[in-house]
């Protein structure tokens, strides 16, 4: 019998384990059960793990005496850990709580961490997130500075029929016009708030605003704005990293929703 491919997904195993924990808890009536045994078995696998940890830190394999010391430290930690659980010292501890939550998230996202998406998946992600991968923007615009928002609104009515627009607005050291400048150039001169705001303006001959900056309020005429999408092959590594981050976030959310459905949430408002 051949099982469907989805049954081999680590996320499915994770969720099934979560459901099993919930079922056992419900079957036992939610009573407190001591999960720690009184037997500490330091088998060959555990000793190998201790030796590997030592080698990662020291850059060499441990001697027999050093391995014995590692085992003694492991036993000490395990005894104190189990006794702390018996005393309930993990309850109400924000650090422990956060650590366990992180472990659950990591378990849900483990498969996505090492996943390698194929060409079609990456190109589909690139296409659906095209705005994120826009190359630098080029723009040409005129601007006038005013001390307050109301003054901009009054000026907008006059500017439509006024060819001498340079005489409108307040005196300023800011350039009245910028031609074929990148978003980085605009941000450097006018600041981040202004640069982001004018991206939303329509291209044409009409004056628009008010647009705020750290200098005051502006009327802006966006004469030209062009955006080019970056080449997929040139930023393939970035796209794959972004896809993996999105996949990890999605798997965490899927796992949480499935496990949450096993709980009854009561909020006393």
Q: Is the residue at 237 inside a domain?
A: no
For residues 179 and 150, state if they share a domain.
Answer: yes
% residues pLDDT > 70 (the chain): 84
Domain range enclosing 49: 8-27+37-117+246-260
For residues 209 and 149, state if they share a domain.
Answer: yes
Q: Is the residue at 233 inside a domain?
A: no
Q: Is the residue at 32 inside a domain?
A: no
Categorize the per-residue pLDDT at 84 as very low, low, confident or very high, splitting at 50, 70 and 90.
confident
Number of H helices, E strands in the chain: 9, 4
Q: What is the pLDDT of residues 120-178, one digit of tens each?
A: 999 999 988 877 777 678 899 999 999 899 999 989 888 865 567 877 888 889 999 99
- Domain count for the chain: 2
For residues 96 and 18, state if they share a domain.
Answer: yes
Categorize the per-residue pLDDT at 68 as very low, low, confident or very high, splitting at 50, 70 and 90.
very high
Q: Is the residue at 178 inside a domain?
A: yes
User: How many CB atoms within 10 Å of residue 11?
Assistant: 19
For residues 12 and 92, state if they share a domain.
Answer: yes
CA dist 240 and 245 (Å) reads: 9
CATH code where residue 177 lies: 3.10.50.40
Q: Is the residue at 189 inside a domain?
A: yes
At residue 24, the pLDDT reads 38
For residues 102 and 165, state if they share a domain.
Answer: no
For residues 174 and 147, state if they share a domain.
Answer: yes
At residue 13, the pLDDT reads 52
For residues 67 and 164, state if they share a domain.
Answer: no
Categorize the per-residue pLDDT at 14 as very low, low, confident or very high, splitting at 50, 70 and 90.
low
131 CB burial (10 A radius; 0-12, 13-18, 19+): exposed
For residues 78 and 162, state if they share a domain.
Answer: no
User: How many CB atoms within 10 Å of residue 156?
Assistant: 16
Largest CA-CA distance found in the chain, in angstroms, rounded = 91
Categorize the per-residue pLDDT at 16 as very low, low, confident or very high, splitting at 50, 70 and 90.
low
Q: Is the residue at 266 inside a domain?
A: no
Checking if the pLDDT of 3 tops 50, the result is: no
Q: Is the residue at 126 inside a domain?
A: no
For residues 97 and 197, state if they share a domain.
Answer: no
At residue 21, the pLDDT reads 45
For residues 148 and 207, state if they share a domain.
Answer: yes
For residues 147 and 75, state if they share a domain.
Answer: no
For residues 203 and 251, state if they share a domain.
Answer: no
Higher pLDDT, 266 or 59: 59
Categorize the per-residue pLDDT at 12 as very low, low, confident or very high, splitting at 50, 70 and 90.
low
Categorize the per-residue pLDDT at 30 as very low, low, confident or very high, splitting at 50, 70 and 90.
very low
Checking if the pLDDT of 193 tops 50, the result is: yes
């Amino acid at each position: 019998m051949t099982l469907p491919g989805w049954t081999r997904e680590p996320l499915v195993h994770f969720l099934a384990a979560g459901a099993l924990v919930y079922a056992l808890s419900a079957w036992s009536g939610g009573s407190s059960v001591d999960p720690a045994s009184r037997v500490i078995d330091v088998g060959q696998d555990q000793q190998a793990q201790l030796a590997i940890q030592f080698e990662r830190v020291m850059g060499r394999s441990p001697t027999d005496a050093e391995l014995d010391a590692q085992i003694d430290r492991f036993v000490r930690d395990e005894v104190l850990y189990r006794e702390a659980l018996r005393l309930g010292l993990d309850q109400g501890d924000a650090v422990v709580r956060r650590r366990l939550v992180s472990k659950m998230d990591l378990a849900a996202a483990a498969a996505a961490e090492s996943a390698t998406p194929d060409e079609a998946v990456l190109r589909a992600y690139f296409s659906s997130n095209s705005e994120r991968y826009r190359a630098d923007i080029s723009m040409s615009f005129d601007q006038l500075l005013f001390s307050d928002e109301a003054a901009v609104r009054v000026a907008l009515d006059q500017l439509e029929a006024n060819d001498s627009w340079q005489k409108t607005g307040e005196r300023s050291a800011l350039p009245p016009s910028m031609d074929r400048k990148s978003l980085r150039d605009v941000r450097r001169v006018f600041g981040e708030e202004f640069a982001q705001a004018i991206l939303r303006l329509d291209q044409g001959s009409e004056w628009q605003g008010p647009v705020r900056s750290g200098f005051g309020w502006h009327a802006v005429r966006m004469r030209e704005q062009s955006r080019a999408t970056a080449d997929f092959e040139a930023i393939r590594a970035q796209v794959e990293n972004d896809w993996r981050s999105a996949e990890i976030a999605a798997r965490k959310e899927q796992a949480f929703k499935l496990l949450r459905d096993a709980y009854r949430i009561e909020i006393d408002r």
